[in-house]
Amino acid sequence: MALQYLKREPIKYFEIWENSPRLPQSIQTKLAPLNAEEKLKEVVEHYLKNEEVLNLCRAMSVLGFSPIDNVLGLSRNGKLVIFEGNRRLIAAEILLNPDLIKDIDYLVKDCEDITAIQAYDMLKRYRAVMSEELVDTLRELPILEFNSSLYTLESATMESMASSGALNEEVVCPECGRWEFAEGETECGDCGCAL
């Protein structure tokens, strides 16, 4: 793996790759015509509703962003485009700016009782307990930046998947290309295709 370097960068320089294999095709298609702010809102809503990102928010509100949980990215037009670590990036973005989910109508079960509450209200609780030191861990994230003169986003993703052992034809959805599945999953949660 030819990495340029490991560094910490302000979160404002990060953006999510619109063609990430971790995003379903339907979301990728929606993102194409959107500006950066609109893309972020669309991806936040997807991850909030489909990837249980609130669990990551809860963990980060207690532990911060782990310095060993690097995100992987490549520089493009002055931004670090992330192709690995999208959920962690979104969780950090949400904790830093809870208003990102203010208008998303999404109910979650409250750990303290059995009633469902708005995700926004739950997130405000997580954020309220965070110390300033923990918040600081979200403002600058550790990134392994791939050398953009050697890699494209596609080739860096493939390199990353191959080196982590994640690239296995048996676990790639033939319909939408999703490649991360929980043990025992028999159908793709993105497109419903039988595995």
**What would the pLDDT profile of 25-65 be if each residue is shown by its tens digit?**
889 999 989 888 888 889 999 998 876 788 899 999 999 99
pLDDT band at 185 (very low <50, low <70, confident <90, very high): low
User: Scanning the structure block, which residue is given the tokens 């059995």?
Assistant: 114
Backbone angles phi, psi at 14, to 5 degrees: -95, 145
* Contact predicate 4/147, CB 8 Å: yes
d(C-alpha 92, C-alpha 41), whole Å:
14
Q: What are 138-149's pLDDT values in tens digits?
A: 999 999 888 888
Backbone angles phi, psi at 140, to 5 degrees: -130, 120
CA angle 76, 143, 96 (to 5 degrees): 90
